[in-house]
């Protein structure tokens, strides 16, 4: 991403910065999502005094919760899950003491509109053979389909890791038909990448299958929060941060970075005040980066130019509260349906049973309106799970995050930047930065740890924070 002259200039500026300030120990993190929190934790563990600025009145960013004004219940904007391959997210949750709030799901349930269920679980065999029988038992694929999928998987795993042609033509070239594309590749990848098969590249499709299903027998295990996501950023996390001298400032929206010599000198807030530190981490979504940069920095540094080429992909969540239990499964992966996942969150209040349906890459829902989206989802669930049709819908909420993730289009990595910015005292974090992962909670934490590593190295305290893969 950066040429040699830029790299030498950044090192020179960093040297001058360290000399001028004698290895400072305060850091200001702009953004209280997972990337910013991970950066704060990484720096605080190495003795930095950290302040986290968050524009909202809650932490977690897009992987967070809001309070339902009608009931006071904490509701996830969208259900997020982890997997066994998400080693950095697991490390972060263990570090701050909230890993017990996730429960592993050793079985996945794939359900078709005819109400048939296939259970996907690992056999006690070493990877990559542990999931062979699960694939062969998928009722929604014919025996010939399964041979096609096996061939496609083998070809994908043999592909060069950096190869990133458009996925759909690649699948067709490798003997995949519309049925396998819709019922296998699309089912897995649309949920994992928040993008449809016709829009993604081979690289991150390969990443999903290689890291999530093939490399390690525990990698595919899904871990679902047993509490609202906002609870993950509750008492335990806040207590850990307070113990390590991390100051949280919510409702503190940043307006722009202020440049000085030789780097960032302050962050100007929307209320007109300004805060200063020795080091800065910009940990905001990609669509906010340009707004926070001074014009002279945007025009001077090519490092920041690529972010404008990233495009968003939306996620819609449909929250439904019924008057009785409606599912016998803890979750279901829906095949040939509008929704991709449905999660049964149980009885969240007396007489209220809560389901959440996730529609990834939800562009097709634009223009329908919330009532129509709710109607279609409820009708679909009623066909797949008959108790839904007989239950009374107490209330519903449809939430769309229009810029939930960046779109993993072919060649997207050319627009993603490393956490080490050319500005001497500035690191950048976010799942959209250069992490080797698609837009996930794991990618966000990796970026935050990576940003903290950059600052620690430039401050003369190098440390390894990013955790190894399984």
Which residue do the tokens 């509750």 mark? Answer: 234
Cβ 375 vs Cβ 403: under 8 Å:
no
- Rounded Cα distance, 343 and 395, in Å: 17
Q: Where in the chain is the domain with CATH 3.50.50.60?
A: 4-59+234-310+416-458
pLDDT at 298: 87
Cβ 382 vs Cβ 300: under 8 Å:
no
Torsion sign over Cα 239, 245, 246, 248: positive
Half-sphere exposure of 257 (CA within 13 A, CB side): 33
The SS3 call for residue 376 is helix
CATH class held by domain 72-84+312-406: alpha beta
pLDDT at 21: 45
User: Where is 373: in which H helix or E strand?
Assistant: helix 370-384
Give the homologous superfamily in CATH for domain 4-59+234-310+416-458: FAD/NAD(P)-binding domain (3.50.50.60)
pLDDT at 64: 86
Task: Please give the model's pTM, rounded to 2 decimal places.
Answer: 0.93
Q: pLDDT (tens digit, 0 to 9) for every residue of the chain, 470 residues total?
A: 444 455 455 555 555 544 444 444 899 999 999 999 999 999 999 999 999 999 999 999 988 888 888 788 888 988 899 999 999 999 999 999 999 999 999 999 999 999 999 999 999 999 989 999 999 999 999 999 999 999 999 999 999 999 999 999 999 999 999 999 999 999 999 999 999 999 999 999 999 999 999 999 999 999 999 999 989 998 999 999 999 999 999 999 999 999 998 899 999 999 999 999 999 999 999 999 999 999 888 888 899 999 999 999 999 999 999 999 999 999 999 999 999 999 999 999 999 999 999 999 999 999 899 999 999 999 999 999 999 999 999 999 999 999 999 999 999 999 999 999 999 999 999 999 999 999 999 999 999 999 999 999 999 999 999 999 98
Query: What are the residues whose beta carbons fall under 8 Å from the beta carbon of 337, sequence distance 6 or more?
Result: 113, 380, 384
Distances (CA, A) of 30 to 64, 277, 305, 417, 438: 17, 12, 20, 17, 22
3-state percent helix, strand, coil for the chain, nearest multiple of 5:
40, 25, 35
Cβ 397 vs Cβ 148: under 8 Å:
no
Query: Helices 202-209 and 143-158: crossing angle, nearest 10°?
Result: 110
Beta bridge partners of 248: 52
pLDDT at 300: 86
Beta strands 341-349 and 331-334 are antiparallel
Closest Cα partner for 90 from 341, 439, 449, 428?
449
| Start-to-end Cα distance in the chain | 28
311 phi-psi bin (left φ>0, alpha ψ -120 to 50, beta other): beta
Q: Where in the chain is the domain with CATH 3.90.660.10?
A: 72-84+312-406
pLDDT at 62: 87
pLDDT at 131: 94
Distances (CA, A) of 64 to 230, 232, 234, 404: 5, 9, 11, 12
Using alpha carbons only, give the angle 422, 425, 429 rounded to the nearest 5 degrees. Answer: 75
């Amino acid at each position: 991403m950066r040429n040699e002259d830029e790299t030498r200039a950044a090192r020179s500026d960093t040297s001058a910065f360290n000399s001028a300030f004698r290895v400072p120990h305060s850091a200001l993190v702009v953004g209280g999502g997972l990337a910013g929190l991970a950066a704060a934790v990484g720096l605080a563990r190495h003795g930095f005094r950290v302040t986290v600025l968050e524009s909202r009145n809650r932490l977690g960013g897009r992987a967070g919760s809001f309070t339902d004004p009608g009931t006071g219940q904490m509701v996830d904007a969208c259900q997020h899950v982890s997997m066994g391959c998400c080693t950095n997210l697991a490390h972060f949750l263990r570090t701050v003491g909230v890993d017990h709030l996730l429960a592993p799901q050793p079985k996945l349930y794939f359900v078709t509109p005819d109400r048939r269920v296939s259970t996907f679980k690992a056999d006690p065999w070493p990877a990559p053979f542990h999931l062979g029988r699960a694939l062969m038992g998928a009722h929604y694929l014919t025996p010939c389909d399964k041979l096609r999928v096996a061939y496609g998987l083998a070809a994908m795993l043999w592909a060069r890791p950096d190869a990133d042609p458009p996925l759909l033509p690649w699948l067709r070239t490798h003997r995949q038909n519309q049925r396998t594309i819709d019922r296998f590749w699309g089912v897995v990848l649309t949920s994992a990448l928040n993008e449809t098969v016709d829009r993604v590249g081979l690289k991150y499709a390969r990443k999903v299958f290689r890291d999530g299903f093939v490399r390690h027998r525990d990698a595919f295990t899904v871990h679902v929060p047993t509490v609202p996501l906002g609870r993950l950023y509750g008492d335990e996390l806040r207590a850990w941060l307070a113990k390590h001298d991390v100051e949280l400032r919510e409702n503190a929206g940043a307006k722009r970075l202020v440049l000085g010599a030789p780097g960032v000198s302050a962050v100007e807030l929307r209320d007109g005040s300004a805060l200063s530190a020795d080091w800065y981490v910009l940990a905001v979504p990609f669509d906010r980066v340009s707004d926070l940069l001074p014009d002279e920095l945007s025009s001077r540094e090519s490092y920041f130019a690529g972010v404008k080429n990233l495009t968003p992909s939306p996620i819609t969540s449909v929250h439904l509260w019924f008057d009785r239990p409606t599912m016998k499964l803890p979750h279901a992966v829906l095949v040939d349906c509008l929704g991709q996942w449905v999660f049964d969150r149980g009885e969240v209040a007396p007489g209220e049973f809560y389901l959440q349906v996730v529609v990834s890459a939800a562009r097709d829902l634009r223009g329908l309106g919330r009532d129509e989206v709710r109607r279609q989802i409820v009708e679909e669930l009623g066909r797949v799970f008959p108790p839904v049709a007989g239950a009374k819908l107490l209330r519903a909420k449809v939430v769309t995050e229009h810029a939930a993730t960046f779109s993993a289009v072919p060649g997207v990595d050319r627009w993603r930047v490393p956490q080490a910015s050319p500005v001497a005292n500035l690191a950048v974090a976010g799942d959209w930065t250069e992490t080797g992962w698609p837009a996930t909670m794991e990618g966000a934490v990796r970026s935050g740890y990576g940003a903290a590593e950059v600052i620690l190295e430039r401050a003369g305290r190098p440390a390894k924070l990013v955790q190894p893969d399984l």
